[in-house]
């Protein structure tokens, strides 16, 4: 499990392995990235999860 996770979105909570993450407001750079990706994918994204890994050998799966 990654040592640090962040959740960005609108009034959202995300439970992962027993930990409850509360969404933070998206910073401007994430809003811009989301808007560009939504145009290309033609999909809407409500939140983004970010994981920080300590080494290059860490992973989710």
More confident residue, 30 or 11: 30
Domain extent listing, the chain: 4-52
> What pLDDT is stored for residue 38 in this prediction?
96
Q: Are 8 and 26 in contact (CB under 8 A)?
A: yes
Mean pLDDT of the chain: 84
Q: Are 51 and 2 in contact (CB under 8 A)?
A: yes
Mean pLDDT across the stretch 24-39?
94
Length of the chain equals 61
* 41-54 confidence digits (pLDDT tens): 999 998 888 888 77
Residue 10 half-sphere exposure, CB side, CA atoms within 13 Å?
A: 3
Q: Are 59 and 19 in contact (CB under 8 A)?
A: no
pLDDT value at 14 more than 60: yes
> What pLDDT is stored for residue 61 in this prediction?
65
């Amino acid at each position: 499990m990654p040592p640090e996770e962040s959740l960005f979105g609108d009034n959202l909570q995300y439970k992962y392995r027993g930990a409850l993450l509360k969404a933070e407001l998206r910073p401007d750079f994430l809003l811009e990235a989301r808007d560009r990706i939504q145009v290309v994918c033609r999909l809407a994204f409500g939140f983004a999860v970010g994981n920080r890994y300590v080494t290059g050998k860490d992973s989710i799966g």
